Structure 1
Amino acid sequence: MKFKFICLFTLYLLGSITYAQNPRVFVLTDIENEPDDAMSFVRFLTYANHFDIEGIVATTSCWQRNKTAEWRLHEIAEAYGKVRNNLEIHEKGFPTEAYIHSIIKKGLPVFGKEGLGEGKGSEGSDWLLTSMLKNDPRPLYIQAWGGTNVLAQALWKLKKTEPESTIKQVIAKLRVYTISDQDDTGPWIRNTFPALFYIVSPGFEENGGGQYHYATWSGISGDVFHGRFMGADTTIVRNKYLDEHVRKNHGALGEKYPQVEYLMEGDSPSFLGLINNGLNAPDHPNYGGWGGRYELYIPPFKKYMYEPETRPMWTDTQDEVYSELTKSFHTSNHATIWRWRTAFQNDFFARMDWCVAKKYSEANHPPLVTLKHANEITVKSGSEVVLSGDATDPDNNTLSYNWMFYKEVGSLNANQFSLQNPKNKEVRFLAPNVSETKTMHFILEVKDNGTPALTRYQRVIVNVIPK
């Protein structure tokens, strides 16, 4: 794809992996099932320069079984076209409106496995298969905001038409993130392709009962859900706040952002973890980031799942997070997302400001954070560890620093570990004693004092080895 964001997307390290280009992204959406897909699509387009978008396919789901709504995607893309040049003032690399229209396709207007098998192809599944077979070494991140029968059909045709060697190569490059199981093809996909990288809170929601309020992705806004209070402040995900920062006086794209009816943007976690913010690690869901955190295991069967799972997948795990609202700690899978909520909401609000700010100086932009050492270092038990970073701000705002030990990530069990003077640019500590190599994750969080305040990060992985 020709829309490479060269200025911002320089090489950066995360663990032992180097990300040099935008991630390839393919979206499946049951838009018009309820308002949240349209909300997510508005946010998604404000980050369109962070991705190489290869396809956007309108699909069905359990709540929208016999129609697709590609017309709504085109409508929002048209609004994006009216603000795209403004967005370019603030960051380069936004694809044209014409390009977005050209990659919008539709799946069959049938539910789940009714769209799987011989003669069940669609322009959406064919377009997806073309992306899968593309001669591109980068992973293809497939986001299912609704049902997955378009993905299932593409995989079915892949299996039927390609040699085993090609199938193996294609599966190795796919990264699937589904917002729960919104049709019955998810278990078929996971069982038929056991090596497929798959993030999901497995289970379905029908007739008012199910598992959506248990799923990790609902942590984007659903902290008071079915009577369960999760601890995070929901002010900035409510309609009043969204009116002020998105819908009103923010241009044509903001006007296409619907009112929240159930929860805000339940689909956005699928791409929040791909944004180049220095924290996210797309191929390592267990590292945690704006899209949540997940562990690889076989989840136990629950009554709201279609069938027992037979293979490991990336699924729900927990973080313990301090809530300023309740002045206490909360432990949940939702917290793996809501712990970052202020940062990712402010980031979106700034981009909505870009939609109408005709000069660079009229809006805020995120700081650039750097380290004075590698993103992964190895130290011996008992030795002094020095973590050091710096940052610049394009708007000359004042910056504040915070080093965080991400205790849930890594292999070292160190619940009692704490950093001294974490607000400094540089922190020092003695490496814990270990009998075998253990890892620790540290996040340098830098925030500016602009309006809204914006945050960027760097992650450091510390490998602690015995003396």
Structure 2
Amino acid sequence: MIFLLLGAFQMDSFAQYRVIVSSDFPPIPVTNSDPDDVQSMVRFLLYTNELEVEALIASAGTFNMVANKGNILNVLDQYDLVDETLRKKDSMFPTADFLRSVTFEGLGNNHHIEIKWGCGKQLWSDIIGPGKNSEASDVIIAIADKPDPRPVYIGVWGGAREVAQAIWQVQNSRTKEELEVFLDKIRIFLIGCQDASHSWLMDNYPNLYIIESKTTYQGMFGVGTQEWAETNIIKDHGPLGAIYPPKAMAGSGVIEGDSPSFLYLLSANRGLNDPEDPTQESWGGQYVRNGDTNHFIDGPGPISISKWKNAFQLDFQKRADWMLP
């Protein structure tokens, strides 16, 4: 039945989910960070025809906790070299100029703030609160405030500080009822736990839709070998494919620990799941509700992603071929 659904997928059936990506994006070539964000971004850009990209946010995360949107803009320069070719396959691919216009920078240790990597390393009030707004946290508020009834899916690849600061700002400047309206518009997918804002969100907002993937994301590790990546993505697939790192911190080949945050939307576009119900199976994993909260935590674990690798890797392989002239 699943394969029938996937086989029946039509190009005109995209749901155009509204998406924000918040990534601790490293420079290219990668230094002092994890290359898997670059891997995930290459895959993400090849599916932007299926998603309505509201913002690309450079956040702090991993080791040096630096937020630099220039790193994302550098990748968009490579996308700029292939986007016209991609639009020959589907006119819905955004231009590089549009994506540049929705790229924003959060706060990191290169700003007036000190963020420590990981949970339990500092007080949440060290990184969230008065005077800690950024262009990234401001734009999250503006996006959620749009008169669009569709929810906004926020994939948090690095630290969650920017979305947490947005929520803090709304909480401290609006009524309780207005806060609830705001929270009802956003869906958060947390990959790991990279700063003190993570626990603040989990502890204080039980009704906020949050997927907390502490281990399930590891189902992406090794879904493709280095040889597979070099053959199907890196070599002879244009400048965007060429920047796909052949290895990351967790090993060689395809790692992409952040990709589940949008893979569950792509599988929804193929009729496999409803992203409003993370307990369903999806390319981004399957999760269980945490008690009576609206939080969804690791359930079956990494296997709930890796079981779909043949489907999403073949799809990625075909999508990468769209970059060929």
TM-score by length of 2: 0.85
Could you say which residue in structure 2 is the equivalent of 1:161?
173
Write the distance in 2 (CA, Å) between the matches of 1:132 and 1:282. Answer: 18
* Counterpart amino acid of residue 259 in structure 2: S
Write the distance in 1 (CA, Å) between the matches of 2:191 and 2:282. Answer: 16
Structure 1 residue aligned with 2:145, among 133, 137, 156? 133
Give 1 or 2: higher helix fraction: 2
Tell me the SS of whatever aligns to 2:236. coil
Does the Cα contact within 8 Å between 1:219 and 1:338 map onto a contact in 2?
A: yes
Q: CA deviation at 1:346?
A: 1.1
Could you say which residue in structure 2 is the equivalent of 1:385?
none
Q: CA deviation at 1:191?
A: 2.1
Tell me the SS of whatever aligns to 2:82. helix
Q: Is residue 26 of structure 1 aligned with residue 20 of structure 2?
A: yes
Q: CA deviation at 1:314?
A: 0.3
Write the distance in 2 (CA, Å) between the matches of 1:347 and 1:314. Answer: 27
Q: CA deviation at 1:69?
A: 2.9
Could you say which residue in structure 1 is the equivalent of 2:4?
none
Q: Is residue 196 of structure 1 aligned with residue 196 of structure 2?
A: no
Structure 2 residue aligned with 1:277, among 270, 275, 281? 270
Could you say which residue in structure 1 is the equivalent of 2:248?
261
Tell me the SS of whatever aligns to 1:142. strand
Write the distance in 2 (CA, Å) between the matches of 1:277 and 1:111. Answer: 39
Could you say which residue in structure 1 is the equivalent of 2:309?
341
* Counterpart amino acid of residue 63 in structure 2: W
Q: Is residue 238 of structure 1 aligned with residue 214 of structure 2?
A: no
Seen in structure 2, the aligned counterparts of structure 1 residues 98 and 156 have a Cα distance that, compared at 3 Å, is: same
Write the distance in 2 (CA, Å) between the matches of 1:64 and 1:177. Answer: 22
Structure 2 residue aligned with 1:8, among 3, 6, 11? 11
Unaligned runs of 5+ in 1: 1-6, 11-19, 203-214, 222-233, 299-309, 319-332, 359-467
* Counterpart amino acid of residue 249 in structure 2: Y
Q: CA deviation at 1:64?
A: 2.8
Q: CA deviation at 1:115?
A: 2.6
Could you say which residue in structure 1 is the equivalent of 2:98?
99
* Counterpart amino acid of residue 195 in structure 1: N
Does the Cα contact within 8 Å between 2:55 and 2:102 map onto a contact in 1?
A: yes
Q: Is residue 313 of structure 1 aligned with residue 281 of structure 2?
A: no
Instruction: List aligned pairs for 1:286-305, cutoff 5 A.
Output: 286-298=279-291
Write the distance in 1 (CA, Å) between the matches of 2:155 and 2:294. Answer: 19
RMSD: 1.7
Could you say which residue in structure 1 is the equivalent of 2:198?
186
Could you say which residue in structure 2 is the equivalent of 1:80?
79
Tell me the SS of whatever aligns to 1:237. coil
Does the Cα contact within 8 Å between 1:108 and 1:122 map onto a contact in 2?
A: yes
* Counterpart amino acid of residue 61 in structure 1: G
Seen in structure 2, the aligned counterparts of structure 1 residues 21 and 346 have a Cα distance that, compared at 3 Å, is: closer
Q: CA deviation at 1:166?
A: 1.7
Write the distance in 2 (CA, Å) between the matches of 1:62 and 1:125. Answer: 19
Write the distance in 2 (CA, Å) between the matches of 1:312 and 1:138. Answer: 18
Write the distance in 2 (CA, Å) between the matches of 1:238 and 1:262. Answer: 14
* Counterpart amino acid of residue 61 in structure 2: S
Write the distance in 2 (CA, Å) between the matches of 1:87 and 1:98. Answer: 15
- 1:99-136 deviation digits (Å, cap 9, x = unpaired): 11111111111416333100001111111111121111
Write the distance in 2 (CA, Å) between the matches of 1:83 and 1:201. Answer: 32
Tell me the SS of whatever aligns to 1:55. strand
Could you say which residue in structure 2 is the equivalent of 1:48?
48
Instruction: List aligned pairs for 1:361-380, cutoff 5 A.
Output: none
Does the Cα contact within 8 Å between 1:43 and 1:348 map onto a contact in 2?
A: yes
Q: CA deviation at 1:259?
A: 2.2
Max Rg structure = 1
Tell me the SS of whatever aligns to 1:127. helix
Tell me the SS of whatever aligns to 1:158. helix
- 1:151-189 deviation digits (Å, cap 9, x = unpaired): 110000010112222211121121110101111111111
Write the distance in 2 (CA, Å) between the matches of 1:51 and 1:280. Answer: 16
Write the distance in 2 (CA, Å) between the matches of 1:64 and 1:54. Answer: 27
Seen in structure 2, the aligned counterparts of structure 1 residues 64 and 9 have a Cα distance that, compared at 3 Å, is: farther
Write the distance in 2 (CA, Å) between the matches of 1:69 and 1:254. Answer: 22
Q: CA deviation at 1:312?
A: 5.6
Does the Cα contact within 8 Å between 1:216 and 1:337 map onto a contact in 2?
A: yes
Q: Is residue 350 of structure 1 aligned with residue 314 of structure 2?
A: no
Q: CA deviation at 1:243?
A: 0.5
| Runs of 4+ with deviation above 6 angstroms | none
Tell me the SS of whatever aligns to 2:184. helix
Could you say which residue in structure 2 is the equivalent of 1:70?
69
Q: CA deviation at 1:62?
A: 4.4
Write the distance in 1 (CA, Å) between the matches of 2:273 and 2:236. Answer: 31
**How many pairs does the alignment contain?**
291
Instruction: List aligned pairs for 1:100-115, cutoff 5 A.
Output: 100-109=99-108, 110-111=114-115, 113=124, 114-115=126-127
Could you say which residue in structure 2 is the equivalent of 1:59?
59
Does the Cα contact within 8 Å between 1:87 and 1:351 map onto a contact in 2?
A: no
Unaligned runs of 5+ in 2: 1-9, 27-32, 109-113, 117-123
